[in-house]
Structure 1
Amino acid sequence: MIKNYFKIAVRNLTRNKIFSFINIAGLSLGLTCCMLIVLYTKDEVSFDRFQENKDQLFRIKVTMSDSRETREIGSTNTIHGPSFKQEIPEIKDIVRAQSNMFVTRKGNELLSEDVLFADNNFFTVFSMPLVAGDPKTVLANVNSIVLTEEVAEKYFNTKDAVGKTMELKIGDNFEKLIVSGIAKKCPQNSSIQFGAVIPFELQVTRGWTDKEWLGFYMNTFVLLHEKSDYRTVIPKLNQVFKTKSAEEISKIKDFDQRISFSLQPFLDIHLDSEVSDLRNGLGRGSSPIYSYILSGIAIFILLIACINFVNLTVARSLKRAKEIGIRKVVGSQRKQLMYQFLGESFLLSFIAFFFAIVLTLIVLPTFNELANKQLSLSYLLDIKLVSGYFSLFCITGLVAGFYPALVLSGFSPAQTLYNRTRLTQKNYLTKSLVVFQFALSVCLVIGTIVIYSQFEYLTNKDLGYNDKNLMSFSLGRGRSGEQYLNVVKEELETVAGIEKVGAFNGNYNGTLADIETGKIDFGYIGVDEDFLKTLEIPIVKGRNFSKSFPSDPVQSVVVNEAFVKKAGWANPVGKEINFEWKNQKMTVIGVVKNYHYASLKDTIKPLLMTQDPNYGKSTLSLKLAGGNTVETVKKVEKIFRKYVPFMPFEYQFEDAKNLKRYESEAKWKEMITLAALLSIFVSCIGLFGLATFNAETRVKEIGIRKVLGASAASIAALLSSDFIKLVLVAIVVALPFSYYAVDTWLRDFPYRIAISWWYFVAAALLAISVAILTVGYQSLRTATMDPAKSLRSE
């Protein structure tokens, strides 16, 4: 019996090549999407689960709040971890981690390396396998360094580098560190990422640490004893902080910050979108929303493919009506017929599954690039994943085959043998499924248009300054770099191809100060008198810094419009700002137009600029004339090396840096576009199949209409109209859902496009056009057939 069912299934596949291709192609694409997303999701949820101490590991998290805002950070200071360990018995161990960029020397070549400082128990608390070296002692020597295999190859051209020396620029001199261990490359599903690890004790010996309770700039990880409940530890953290920081806080006038500590489970770090400051040894953060969206897209496409299968199988039911009638007459039970049709469904699903694996292998490199992953099909060897794919196969076979099997097995033998079955003429389920699949496609098309428009908006919006041909580079950290600033700047100003040169401290810091209405927090940067001219930031009130006013560096500041608005000033020029923490009052001399110094994903915050001589300005911004940019950069590098020979020359262009801020949006634009195209393709091949079958069942009707004088155009319109109506209904259904979805997505952007009516019109016209082309081709082909042939055919 099974052999007979198999033969009939194979025969049906080979006889109906178009319908078989449509079903297999659609299911293959849907299954490929599901396989890729399962791989992606598996990687996401497996993050850090290889850590032996995963259930006892936590990161110390800090919540800061005042009357204006509340924010969470994952940073602490040097003193926090050791103090908590000493006072709280549930804490078994702590690990501090802080990363810094250092200059290293490889022969005569200077390189930059991101180095992680960590306590000497780093490799015993974290399960980061060592190829060479003892985890307990590898960081015991203050002058030791542990490299990954990749970094060892980079510097020594071999992984066997234990005992070799490596030069690191510490302060003004290069010091030799001994390679004490080699670690494997950090796993791709690890939040802990490093290339080199140095004992934290080195910072202590150099006096780089401090004991302020109100400083937050490094990660502190806590390892609890096995039977400890981390929720009972949190109140103790806050009690220790309250006791130990009381003296320090009492010295700050009108301190209104509320600071509380908590513990973040280590396994939550990767997908925690609220505390996303992944620095100091942490990386590869993500958001669970990505998995949800990708999973939804994959399910949509698979659903559309299954809908095609159901529609085509049910639509073609008349072709097999007599077969079913004969089987029932000779004694077949309904249960046997259901097994037969389900078996055919599973055979087709099996073939589709095979092609899906091949397609997954082909597109996986491209998917990795889009998703910023390093996935491989070796993940398939995982027992749970194999079980998941087997379940996916079973579910696909059942979903695609159950309803057709139920319908076909229920045909009456008398009606089928006398050609009285008319299932396809009024099959409301088929029509509903067509509407559903096209509604999904329209939603994805609208999503694609909105994401594309928002990305274009983010990358082309006026930033308030001119980032074109704007180049920047650093002369070194803080005061050490500033000593060359003036002489380097003077030489650069004489170079042909450089229009303007300005300087600032290199990054935007935050602070607070007193104004007449109370305290205000703001961004704080050090600039010179040419910074605003170089970036072409307009002054809207007052004046810029000037050498004509020698008191500017110690008495004057310039603020942005957001600062003025927050302060509530009608006439800001001449207002005083009291920096209590440095016992200094400064006067506002000018207001600049708001400019986007951060990503457009963030609102413009209050900003204050100063020429304070104690605020090291060691980053130069250059406005290039354009033209021969490569030659100009070479001239800049020559001047740089003349004064700073022991640092690599690293520069960046501001427009490229701004574009990099929207990498995730760019990738989502590509992924959603691809998903929309796939969904439309799968929907259209299903629609093509239904149109083909519809034309086949109406051959004689078409012949009669042509004999009676109907034109080919009117017949094509007749055959297409029913399907076009379904697509129009799908558009009406899709519009409110798609509006809600894109509106929700756009709310995360403080600067965003307005949802325009033309997005929906464009998607609707695209869906209608594609449907007309798909159905119209087959309808026109049928309408132009010779009526004599169609009327003679039986």
Structure 2
Amino acid sequence: MLATILRSVARQARRHPLYVGLNMFGLALGIGVFLTLSLLVHYEYDFNAGLRDVDRLARVDTHWSLPGVASGEYASVTFHALPFLEQDVPEIEAAARLREAALNTVRDGRFTSFVSRVTDPSFFRVFGLTLLHGRSDDALARPEGLVLSDRAAIRLFGTTDVMGRTVPVVSSNGVTVNHTVTGVLARRTAPDFLSDIEMLVPFAATDMNASCFVSWGSDCGSIYLKLRRPGDIAAVNGRMRDFVVRHAAGAESDANALGGHPETVYALSLAPLQGARFSDFHVLYADDGVDRTVIDSIGLIGLLALALACANAVNLATARAGLRAREVAIRKTLGASRRVLFVQFMGEAMCVAVIAGGLGLVLCEILVPEVASLTGEALALRYGLVGMLLPPIVVLCGFASGLYPSMVLSGYRPAAVLAAARMPSGGRGAARLRDALVAGQFGIAVTIVICMLVINHQTDFMRTADPGYVRSGLLIGSAMPGKDLAAQRRMLDALRAVPGVAAASFGELAPSPDNKTRSIFTYDGPAGPVRVHLLQDFVTTRYFEVYRPRLLAGRWFDASRGMDDLPAREDMATHTASAVLNRMAVGRFGFASPAEAIGKIIGTGGTTARIVGVIDDVRFESPRQAIYPEIMFFNALARRPLTEPIPAVRFQGVAAADMVRRLNRAWTAVLPDVPGEFSAVDARMATYYSGDERRGRIFTLGAVAALLIACMGLYGLAAFAAARRVHEIGIRKALGASGRQIVTLLLGDFLRPVAVACLLACPVAWVLMRQWLAGFDERIALTPAHFVIAVAGAFAIAIFTVLGQTFHLARAEPARALRAE
């Protein structure tokens, strides 16, 4: 039987190479796309799963419920909580703090940056990472210890055998410390949030005096806990409210406490690292979170591509079934049973599926590196996973694509077939099945295309939407370390002296901000006090010229007005500062319009401020996040420094790359020991939309594959019609039908299932995309244009697919067509 099946497949390939080729290529494309996207989905679902005892690992998150702003969960916490956690929570087996750090090495005056973290010696007890060299028990026990990744070791020394070597490490504040390599991390293949770390150093003794380690209201980094049992995470979460009440309460005057009832505004929770890839999508300032819906949709595209390929095989097989009707009739006449024929045809389908599976694996080899580059993920072809997936997929595809055609072929009656002048068509039922398959294929394809268009449009909108300031001609520098007033003045003078600089200024906030100061301000309005939590920014002269925000009411700061400039800190209690609010803050205080806010007095902690201006909302953060209410103060750098100010430069008449080099040289002239880099706003903000952009490309890939497979199904339908309707077209032309009428008739028949597909796809895509867009604070409108473009494109592709067959039929000579039957 196997030999008979193989001979039959080879014979069909010789007699009908187009049908067999389309069938195999369609199945191979579906299998290849499914395997590739399955690897991507598995990568996302497997994130953090490779960490040892991941079911016992948790991150301590902070929850703030502050007046005037929405409540939110943050992926960072005060380090002040760790000693109390270790004291009160016996379920903790090990704990470690982890903070991002901008560490560099310097060689020949050039800085090289590394992805770095500062942590505790207990880091390896918590995460259980393996060292290629060194001992995890004491790798970070020494103050000057340094753990490198194998990649960082090779970058620095060209080898991983670097134990005991000295590395001068420069921090963001310009301090150089000679560290000794005490460990080299082994490379890990499983993805997790620690995979990109290149340097690990222990906290310095001087760090312990910073506000991060002594104040409950500070925002420091992350605390990770390893519990004794997986169930301990939920148990500890149930006690965290009492923990906050017990330790974070204090007098209102205590800067390190949160007041008499901290539980009303503040909470802590343990977020399990298992599954954090998806839960972190809803946590503010969590870098590794992705939308589970998007990942599931990518997996669904893979499944749909496989289903489309099977439907395509069914369509082509049923269209081709009539060509084998006489073969079946003769074999049945010679004694072959229906069961034998059914097994043979199923075997042929399985044989084709096996060949397609091999081609699909080759296609997967090609697609995986491309998808890895599109997504930016460390995606690789995992042969163990593919080896488990491929055999059942091949069997499933062979069964799904061969069952119905085998039943149809083996069911032909010899007498009816041999007595008929024409080959059998399968009747109305088979015709409706073919139309339904084509409609289903195009319906899925059009849905994916609409989703692709909306996702790409939203991504472009995020990239180009008006952020409330002028981005072109604007460069942002690194934050200046410390509070050296003289150095800040020298830096501004040096930047303003650079040829091509139109204006330069400082602010404590900038696009993609790192340091954020917030306080609760109160306005005593007619209906009573209104309290709003405001994001604070302190800006210097020329700020308005640099960023060019839109002034909605009042005025901007004026250096000639002495009251605008902040006094020394000791004089703040007796001074009413001038302030500028954004539109969001005006609304939260209850003012009916920006003009109504002008002249009003607000205050915080004994400090008062008069609102002198209102600007439109400025977006420095993710488009998914709501604009935060903001207050701005003016500092002319006359009496007090800024805290880690960020320089911003407006330039003109110079190429951006040249200006970056000039500004970097000016920075180095003032702070030669501090690494600094100027960059465009788009580069700083790219992290907020690059993930959606990369995943949008995956939807594009899926849309192309779905359309290609759907077109194969439509082409098979057209080819079947070309073989079946030659006689009909000949009669119509003999009775006077024109070529144009024939083309119109045939295109109408071919495009009918495409029209049905579009009618089904549009409402489904509308529901899906409306739900997805709801996750953005700023988003595009879901207009008919997205649907019109997709539908028009589907019709255009469908027309081009069947045009050749249509013209061939329409131009057939009636006499020849009638003789052919």
Query: For 2:103 and 2:183, how far apart are their aligned partners in 1?
Result: 19
The Cα of 1:209 is off from its aligned counterpart by 5.0
Aligned residue in 2 for 1:105: 106
Partner of 1:487: 490
Identify the residue that residue 240 of structure 2 maps to in structure 1.
237
Moved more, 86-95 or 341-350: 86-95
Supply the distance in 2 between the matched residues of 1:254 and 1:611 (Cα, whole angstroms).
Answer: 33
Deviation string, structure 1 residues 445-498 (Cα, Å, up to 9, x no partner) = 222332333233333332221110101213622414x53222332343343311
The corresponding residue for 1:579 is 604
Instruction: Tell me the residue number matched to 2:216.
Output: 213
Asked if residue 538 in structure 1 is aligned to residue 583 in structure 2, the reply is: no
1:608 Cα deviation after fit: 0.6
> 1:557 is matched by which residue type in structure 2?
A
Structure 2 Cα separation of the partners of residues 453 and 288 of structure 1: 20
Q: Residues 470 and 655 of structure 1 are in contact (CA less than 8 Å); yes or no, is this contact kept in structure 2?
A: no
2:770 is the counterpart of 1:729: no
Distance in 2, Cα, partners of 1:450 & 1:118:
42
TM-fit CA distance, 1:238: 3.2
Secondary structure in 2 matching 1:55: helix
Structure 1 residues 52 and 462, CA, compared in 2 at 3 Å: closer, same or farther? closer
Aligned to 2:698: 671
Task: Say if 1:640 and 1:614 are closer, same or farther in 2 by CA, change over 3 A.
Answer: closer
Which residue in 1 is equivalent to 2:228? 225
Match of 2:520 in 1: 512
User: Match for residue 181 of structure 1?
Assistant: 183
Partner of 2:412: 411
The letter for the 2-side match of 1:691 is A
Instruction: Return the alpha-carbon distance in structure 2 between the equivalents of residues 48 and 634 of structure 1.
Output: 39
Distance change in 2, residues 1:630/1:731 (3 Å): closer
> Under a length normalisation based on structure 2, what TM-score does the superposition of the two structures give?
0.90
Q: Deviations over 1:683-724 (max 9, x none)?
A: 112211221121112223333444444333333333332112
State the AA in 2 paired with 1:454: Q
Q: Which amino acid aligns with 1:513?
A: F
Q: Distance in 1 between matches of 2:363 and 2:16?
A: 23
TM-fit CA distance, 1:271: 2.1
Q: CA RMSD in A?
A: 2.5
Give the equivalent residue in structure 1 for 2:571. none
Q: Please say if residues 503 and 617 of structure 1, whose CA atoms lie closer than 8 Å, have aligned partners that are also in contact.
A: no
Q: Tell me how far apart the structure 1 counterparts of residues 427 and 321 of structure 2 sit (CA, whole Å).
A: 8
Native 8 Å contact 2:99 2:118 kept in 1: yes
Tell me the distance in 1 between the aligned counterparts of 2:463 and 2:231. Answer: 49
Structure 2, unmatched stretches of 5+, are: 568-576
Show CA shifts across 1:206-241 (max 9, x none).
Answer: 757522233342211111224853322223333333
CA distance in 2 between counterparts of 1:275 and 1:443 reads: 26
Change (3 A) 1:373 1:102: closer
Letter in 1 for 2:586: V
Rate the CA distance shift 1:209–1:670 in 2: closer, same or farther, 3 A: closer
Is 1:20 paired with 2:20? yes
CA distance in 2 between partners of 1:328 and 1:4 (Å): 16
Aligned to 2:399: 398
Select between 106-115 and 244-253 the one with higher mean Cα deviation: 244-253
- Residue identity in the other structure for 2:416: Q
Closer/same/farther in 2, CA of residues 207 and 428 from structure 1, 3 Å limit: closer
In structure 2, the partner of 1:558 is 580
Mapped contact 2:463–2:682 kept (Cα < 8 A): no
Q: Give the Cα–Cα distance (whole angstroms) in 2 for the partners of residues 741 and 724 of structure 1.
A: 26
Q: Judging changes above 3 Å, is the alpha-carbon distance between structure 1 residues 456 and 133 closer, same or farther for their aligned structure 2 residues?
A: closer
Pair 1:567-2:567 in alignment: no
In the alignment, is residue 370 of structure 1 matched against residue 398 of structure 2?
A: no
Instruction: Determine helix, strand or coil for the equivalent of 2:118.
Output: strand
1:226-275, Cα deviation, whole Å (9 max, x unpaired): 48533222233333332122335685668673333322222122222455
Question: What SS class does the counterpart of residue 450 from structure 1 fall into?
Answer: helix
Offset of residue 94 of structure 1 = 1.1
* 1:48-81: CA deviation from partner (whole Å, max 9, x where unpaired): 2222322222222333335653211232222322
Tell me, yes or no, if structure 1 residue 296 matches structure 2 residue 308: no
Which residue pairs with 2:149 in the alignment? 148
Q: Secondary structure at the match of 2:518?
A: strand
Partners of 1:172 and 1:755 in 2: CA distance: 49
Matches within 5 A, 1:448-463: 448-463=452-467
Secondary structure, aligned partner of 1:294: helix
One of 255, 264, 274 as aligned partner of 1:267: 274
Asked whether the equivalents of residues 72 and 284 of structure 2 are also in contact (C-alpha less than 8 Å), the reply is no
Which residue matches 2:198? 195
Tell me, yes or no, if the aligned pair for 1:191 and 1:285 is still in contact at 8 Å: no
2:451 is aligned, of 443, 447, 469, to 447
Contact kept? 1:695, 1:719, Cα under 8 Å = no
In the alignment, structure 1 residue 606 sits paired with structure 2 residue 629 = yes
The answer to whether residue 9 in structure 2 is matched with residue 9 in structure 1 is yes
Partner of 1:358: 362
Cα 1:357–1:89 shift into 2, 3 Å: same
What letter corresponds to residue 564 of structure 1 in structure 2? Answer: V
Unaligned runs of 5+ in 1: none
Amino acid across the alignment from 1:563: A
Is 2:606 aligned against 1:591? no
Find the counterpart in structure 2 of residue 347 from structure 1. 351
1:752 shift after superposition: 2.1
Q: Residue 57 of structure 1 contacts residue 265 of structure 1 at CA under 8 Å; is this kept in 2?
A: yes
- Residue of structure 1 equivalent to 2:134: 133
TM-score by length of 1: 0.93
- Tell me how far apart the structure 2 counterparts of residues 22 and 718 of structure 1 sit (CA, whole Å): 26
Task: State the 1:33 CA deviation.
Answer: 0.8
Tell me what 1:74 maps to: 75
Residue 563 of structure 1 and its aligned partner are, at CA, apart by 0.9
Give the letter for the 2:520 counterpart: L
Q: Which residue of 1 aligns with 2:560?
A: 548
Count of residues in Structure 1 that have an aligned counterpart in Structure 2: 785
Question: What secondary structure is seen at the aligned counterpart in 1 of 2:213?
Answer: coil
Amino acid aligned to 1:191: F
**Offset of 1:659 from its aligned partner?**
4.8
Q: Answer yes or no: is 1:467 the counterpart of 2:485.
A: no
Aligned twin of 2:85:
84
Query: Secondary structure of 1:247's match?
Result: coil
Structure 2 CA distance for partners of 1:396 and 1:741, relative to 1, 3 Å = same
Q: 1:687 to 1:597 in 2, by over 3 A?
A: same
Contact 2:320/2:720, CA 8 A, preserved across alignment: yes
Does the aligned pair in 2 maintain the 1:688–1:775 contact within 8 Å? yes
Task: Report the CA distance between 1:521 and its aligned residue.
Answer: 0.8
Given that 1:475 and 1:644 are in contact with CA atoms closer than 8 Å, whether structure 2 keeps it comes out as no
